[in-house]
Amino acid sequence: MGDHPKDMDSTSLPSLHMAMAQKILGSDFAPEAVLHSYKSFNGFVMKLTDEEAERMAEMDTVVSVFPNKKNHLHTTRSWDFLGFPQQVKRTSIESDIIVGVLDSGISPDSESFSDKGFGPPPSKWKGSCLNFTCNNKVIGAKYFNIGSKYTKEDIESPRDTEGHGSHCASTIAGNFVNHASLLGFASGTARGGVPSARIAVYKIIWESGGSEADTLAAFDEAIADGVDLISTSTGPTGIVHYEYFGHAINIGSFHAMKRGILTSNSAGNLGPELYSMTIYPPWLLSVAATTINRMFLTKLQLGNDMVYEGVSINTFDLKSKMFPLFFSAQDNSSSGICSEKTLDKRLVEGKIVLCEGWHNVTDVGFLSGAAGVIVAGIGGKDLPGTFALPATVLTVNDLKLVKSYIASAGYSKNATATIFRSDEVNDSSAPYVASFSSRGPNPITPDILKPDLAAPGVNIIAAYSPMSPISDVEGDERLVKYNIISGTSMACPHAAGAAAYVKSFHPSWSPAMIKSALMTTATPMSAALNPEAEFAYGAGQINPLKAANPGLVYDISEADYIKFLCGEGYTNEKLRVLTQDHAKCSKKANELAVYELNLPSFALKVNAHFYRVFHRTVTNVGSATSSYKAKLMFPSFLDIEVKPDVLNFTSIGQKKYFYVIIAGKINVEITSASLVWDDGNFQVRSPIVIYGDP
């Protein structure tokens, strides 16, 4: 079997799968209907009619049947902002850590991925490179496109033509690169969290997105190749609530967990509404996006000398030249939404256009020859963006004032304006969760907290593809080696880099132990700045330095997840196909298993009066001899107890069991509490969330 789906044909389909397919679809099943076979999943992707899919879903040996949907990208001060400077303590094992990045590929010529000073790949590495020249830094590179459908913008190789994959990979493990900037903005040293680690690239995103089949194949290859961690900043672009085995990332990350590999995944960019996450299984790390103390403000000056401050990353300098102002609704359009149908090039060329719509607004303005664009924001200053022409995003109220100015000038050329180059300023309110970052709760299992934690995801500078304009608009001639991007896509690799750092100190730790270390040492965040509280930021913002030495960890085995899934209603047959072993549920599945899943967080959805017991076990990884006391913080209308409230340890690796009782009556939508195990040296913090229907 080849390294890429295009190299795989129906002859590679195992005979067992052929027999199953003929049983499902009848003796007239044609082998050429099979698109791809996966080595370690024992599953395959097929072209099925709706009727055939229903028949397959009813079979005991089928975990789930779901469409081969498209996934999309969940589009240096950040590490310093986390209190993680260049000179942190590191281990020699860091150079043996291999991070698998499932994304849009990588730019091999970037200094961030140079192998200068690197030795050969670790002996455990089994991967390879396809249509790509690897080095001792980027040690693996493969691409997946099951339908072999390419646009003119795509390159049939792991090379990154979009920039997103390079940005994420360098955030995790990019080299130290001095004097990096975006055309003068965010100037400094670009670096990843683990600069000595190796990178393995699995390109699954193309111009049209990425399929679930490609995602599964990439997980399969990464696991087989020997990566230590997986980072994927991809997922659905719409709010759809999948069951745990209804999406490729859920399935792939389960198999990774089974083989000791933690998956970091972006929470999604569908916030700030509650229940806006789409990927939320407990065995992966779900990462929300926070701001850092850098923001960009872009001023608009009108002909009447009024100045309004908007947001964008505007690299253009109009040198204070005034241009005629044009409101897009004044050319007989029914609204102020800018589109190809509502912008007449003859009317807007050489003018600054005011638009009340977001969709592709700068693409249209750029193609129409506008001198600049003013658009209405949706609130907040956390997603400025880089546009194809001078642009600023104003608040709705400020936009109304600009419209009034245009109207007072009789919609004539007497209404003028200019847009200034952006100012890079300090955001003293940071960190807070970005408005775009998807929020919990977990829609499938309400008593499991999601997201897990938060990491920097706003105004992040990192490596980029010089093949893609910084605005991603064709015709924009600004090609750069480093770009500033915002999104949970940028938060995910920060968490992956932190996880790799922890892994370098504790190579034998399980995925759950690493996840626990990150969560219990996370810096608590302000509910005043984030009304959705833990449903916005989880346990808080990552603190890589503290995570490397957490004191206690909450471990979870595959068997624990199986018990949990049994309680969620999964059958033996579905579990065995998924786990590829003899996993089975007890005679009567424990519906309370969710309260025994050894997570480092507590969530409880309630109605009026409630009483619930959670069971937990912690493992000592701090001092050999220590005594931890439970410290609880909770509002007066709750009653929370921990039994026992003191845990005494006499050796490393020793485990102690305790349980938490939560009772009371809630009359608010969400309330927060916390449990901290404290021995005077380590403070091991777990968030507690109790909530009702929103």
423 catalytic residue (yes or no): no
Parallel/antiparallel/unpaired status of strands 198-203 and 98-103: parallel
Burial of 333 (0-12, 13-18, 19+ CB in 10 A): middle
Marked catalytic residue, from 36, 164, 167, 255: 164
**24, containing H or E segment:** helix 15-25
Mark out the alpha helices in 349-411 (DSSP H runs).
361-367, 396-408
Any residues with CB less than 8 A from the CB of 8 and at least 6 apart, and which? 1, 2, 36, 37
Nearest alpha-carbon partner for 361 in 380, 389, 382: 389
4 catalytic residue (yes or no): no
Q: Dihedral (C-alpha) 537, 518, 502, 40: value to the nearest 10 degrees?
A: -80
Mark out the alpha helices in 206-354 (DSSP H runs).
212-225, 248-258, 345-348
Marked catalytic residue, from 110, 489, 504, 686: 489
* DSSP per residue, 506-540: -TT--HHHHHHHHHHTSBP--TTT-TTTHHHHTT-
CA atoms of 402 and 374, how far apart (whole Å): 9
CA atoms of 531 and 679, how far apart (whole Å): 32
Marked catalytic residue, from 103, 382, 427, 555: 103
SS3 assignment for 463-481: ECCCCCCCCCCCCCCCCCC
Q: Burial letters for 478-493: b for 16+ Cβ neighbours within 10 Å, e otherwise?
A: eebbbbbbbbbbbbbb
How far out from the chain centre does Cα 506 lie? 24
CA atoms of 127 and 125, how far apart (whole Å): 6
Report the sign of the C-alpha dihedral through residues 196, 202, 489, 471, in that order. Answer: positive
Instruction: Check if the beta carbon of residue 592 is closer than 8 Å to that of residue 658.
Output: no
| Local structure of 640: helix, strand or coil | strand
103 catalytic residue (yes or no): yes
In one letter, which amino acid is 404?
Answer: S
CA atoms of 101 and 127, how far apart (whole Å): 13
The catalytic residues are 103, 164, 489
